[in-house]
Structure 1
Amino acid sequence: MSRPFRLAATAVALLAALAAATASATSAAAAPAPQHRQLSALAQTPGTAWTVDPVTGRTTVTLDDTVTEQQAARLRDDLRGTAVDLRREPGRLRTMLAGGDAIYGSTARCSLGANARRGTTYYLITAGHCTNTSADWWTDSAHTIAIGVRTASSFPSNDFGLIRYTSKLEHPSAVNTYPGLLQLYGTGSAYVGQAVCRSGATTGVRCGTVTALNATVNYAEGTVTGLIRTNICAENGDSGGPLYTTGGILLGILSGGTGNCTTGGTTYYQPIGEILSVYGLTIP
């Protein structure tokens, strides 16, 4: 699962590069230009995630429980005086194998994110770390009711995949809200502070707010970029489920996160617009 965090000798160079990238995109109020422009190994270190505030230009680096206190202390020392905030998030950054409705591969249980189509061909969208595990998918753990077959999968870097319907199952443009269905009326782009909910096969509907955009997450399996971060909890099996507004606007699908729904957690989502654009899909 997670590999131990290894503090790269060029950690400061990475964080300076992050601040510099923000400075060029925002204003001179951001951190000073660094001595080194190349991202260090920390950018792909399992157990870490980072985001840049588009207003202040400050970088926030989060560490999960696989990062030791000794390593964290070393990093705090290295970052003293920089425009970088370092903080802990409980639990371990992980993809959540196991919206809405449960879907079963040969070895994984995940959640359906959205139904989409290209012309008259229908697909379901879910997380790429889910579709990587299996070519065939079913509605039940006994594998008696077929859904369809994987036609595309992208993970890491991205975290989305497609399953083409080969059965006559109904595929409404809706989210399972346990109980009942919420009709989807379109897609949108998330913004910080937005009130949102997610639906998943393990923990049902949970709600909260968007806390950051364009997040980079370093899972043990690889790095995923451009994600939406929220303060909503999730657990294994919720992966791939939809992030949406109560007005029926779809925003993304669940990639992973930390914590659980007993003590709370943080979750990250692949924006839906990118997925539709990459595959030429529309939401029915």
Structure 2
Amino acid sequence: MRGTFRALVTGAAVVAALLAASGGVTAAPSPSAGTGGEIRGGDAFLVDTGRCVVGFTVTEGFVATSRCGPVGGEVRTTGGELVGVVRGSTYPVPGGAWVETTDAWTLSPSVGRAGGGTAVLGSTLVPMGGAVCATTSTSGWRCGNVLAHDQSVAFPEGTVSGLTRTTLCSDHGRDEGTPVVSGNQAQGVLLLASGPCPGGGGSDHVLPVNPLLAAWGLTLRTA
């Protein structure tokens, strides 16, 4: 598998290539109902591989990073309640994932909870130099600017291309997976954090949301 990911193209083809190589969406059993609640971007749940952070809600559930685990894996609350099942994932190669949630959960078209959060109105890509913000679990809202699009990062499992490089400087190992927005426009999910950076100079990489939606034929929930 590793050789397959060493020469990925940018944009939607990156996620599509990862998806094809990882076997795509398999016939995992439908998730059962639970007591549920509201889900919005930035919420964190548990999976076998650690934490699964909600990127953005879609009509069938939510998109996230492949930290949510392999296809067929279950996403649960800290109390053990089933949230959903991973229907698509590039795991173990860093990239995207799609989780189908149970009918018990309400999917909010917003990110963050502090002060009511921010409504998501669309997913227009911000140009270089544009402002972006992430709602992180460690420091709340953290903002920066876009340095470049279509960037590549080499991971032990393979090289991932089509990423957006920013100055967000979020906490490495703790903030990956959090949603990144520009105003009310969804930009992507944080794939690699470079912080903490008390003196500045961070270089966080974001996995764009539109290729994730295209890879699995999903529709972003908007307010």
Identify whether the pair has TM-score above 0.5, normalized to the shorter chain: yes
1:125 aligns with 2:67: no
Match runs of 1:100-179 below 5 Å: 100-117=42-59, 122-132=60-70, 135-140=73-78, 143-155=79-91, 159-179=95-115
Pick the structure with greater CA Rg.
1
1:252 aligns with 2:188: yes
Post-superposition offset of 1:179 = 3.6
**Partner SS for 1:173:** strand
What residue in structure 1 maps to residue 12 of structure 2? none
Task: Indicate if the aligned counterparts of 2:86 and 2:99 stay in contact, CA closer than 8 A.
Answer: yes
How big is each residue's C-alpha offset from its partner over 1:17-36, in whole Å with a ceiling of 9 and x where there is no partner? Answer: xxxxxxxxxxxxxxxxxxxx
Unaligned regions of 5+ residues in structure 1, if any?
1-42, 45-98
Task: Indicate if the aligned counterparts of 2:66 and 2:96 stay in contact, CA closer than 8 A.
Answer: yes
AA aligned to 2:154 is N
Between 1 and 2, higher relative CO (CA 8 Å, sep ≥ 6) is seen in 2
With over 3 angstroms needed to count, the CA separation of the structure-2 counterparts of 1:135 and 1:274, relative to structure 1, is: same
AA aligned to 2:56 is A
Post-superposition offset of 1:175 = 0.6
How big is each residue's C-alpha offset from its partner over 1:167-187, in whole Å with a ceiling of 9 and x where there is no partner? Answer: 512210101152422111111
- TM score, norm. by length of structure 1: 0.58
Post-superposition offset of 1:146 = 2.0
Q: What is the RMSD computed on CA atoms of the aligned residues?
A: 2.4
Aligned equivalents of 1:241 and 1:257: distance in 2?
Answer: 10
With over 3 angstroms needed to count, the CA separation of the structure-2 counterparts of 1:262 and 1:270, relative to structure 1, is: same
**Percent identical:** 29
How big is each residue's C-alpha offset from its partner over 1:229-266, in whole Å with a ceiling of 9 and x where there is no partner? Answer: 100022223222111112x1101111113232545422
Q: Say which of 149, 152, 165 aligns to 1:229.
A: 165
Task: Indicate if the aligned counterparts of 2:48 and 2:69 stay in contact, CA closer than 8 A.
Answer: no
With over 3 angstroms needed to count, the CA separation of the structure-2 counterparts of 1:267 and 1:232, relative to structure 1, is: same
How big is each residue's C-alpha offset from its partner over 1:54-85, in whole Å with a ceiling of 9 and x where there is no partner? Answer: xxxxxxxxxxxxxxxxxxxxxxxxxxxxxxxx
Aligned equivalents of 2:149 and 2:113: distance in 1?
Answer: 25
**Partner SS for 2:195:** strand
Unaligned regions of 5+ residues in structure 2, if any?
7-40
1:268 aligns with 2:205: yes
Q: Say which of 166, 177, 181 aligns to 1:240.
A: 177
Aligned equivalents of 1:167 and 1:144: distance in 2?
Answer: 17
AA aligned to 1:107 is T
- TM score, norm. by length of structure 2: 0.73
Post-superposition offset of 1:133 = 9.0
List structure 1 segments (4+ residues) > 3 angstroms apart after TM superposition. 155-158, 261-264
AA aligned to 2:168 is I
Tell me the matched-pair count: 182
